[in-house]
Amino acid sequence: MADPQNDRDTELVEEGDIFFFYRPRVEEEDPKGRGDIQRFGMVLRPHGGEKVRLMIVGRKRLPEAEEHERHWGFVDEIADSAKDIEEDLRGGTYETKTRGQRTVPAARPAGEGVYAITLEDGQMHLSYELELPERRGDVQKELRILPQASYVLSVKNPEKGSPVYAGLREQDQPDYPDTLQEEFRGRRFDREDVELLDYEGAEFLLVGARTDPEKAYGVDLEAEHEEYKDADAIRRLHMVKSRHPVKPLFEGRWD
């Protein structure tokens, strides 16, 4: 699709449901801010697709869109269904030699909506619009989850290595089939092929781009306001309040 208001060449690559979440630190059942959380990320559920992606975003928040901030991230899990993703976002316990039993709190939903991945002059952009919460609260403000935003999205070439103390270990990076590895054409990043995100360990770079993707790119995200019984995080991710505190999603409040 093309934006009639400018000369940008826009191609819709993928669209679907997006869910933002955070997991508190070990033994932290009452987080009060970003310093109390261990991980922040998002789940992409493409419409009509068979794979669901759980993606971790560095610095435990989204990049500042208007400042074109850059954040590194990686694909933590590829699953056949949203239900499989939810099982890994539940809480649990584990034993340690020095501290005994430790508790890992369940992940909390922090936002849900719709997304689109488009090619803008040959560069992937991830755009989204929130459906919940209806009003941003402290959680969304601190995690920089805007009502809608767009980010330049690039996938890292695992054969190009990483700086010291940065990125995933070599054994955790994806082993792409030759046909996909060739998409990099020797470059450090690929800008065009969303299929590269369908592998666990795929590393990506998010760069803040716009706060008005619908106006900028002519993409109709078609977000709808929802209530508890209709919330996709509840229905499709099965993040029911008996396992996942939902105040961050509906009220924008830390637990």
pLDDT of residue 4 exceeding 80, the answer is no
pLDDT digits (tens, 9 = 90+) for 160-173: 987 666 789 889 99
199 Cβ neighbours under 8 A, 6+ residues apart: 75, 78, 174, 175, 176
Better-predicted residue by pLDDT, 83 or 159? 159
What is the average pLDDT across 116-141? 95
pLDDT digits (tens, 9 = 90+) for 227-240: 666 778 777 777 88
Better-predicted residue by pLDDT, 45 or 224? 45
pLDDT digits (tens, 9 = 90+) for 194-252: 999 999 999 999 999 999 998 888 888 877 776 666 778 777 777 888 889 999 999 99
What is the average pLDDT across 67-72? 95
The structure's pTM equals: 0.91
Domain positions in the chain? 10-250
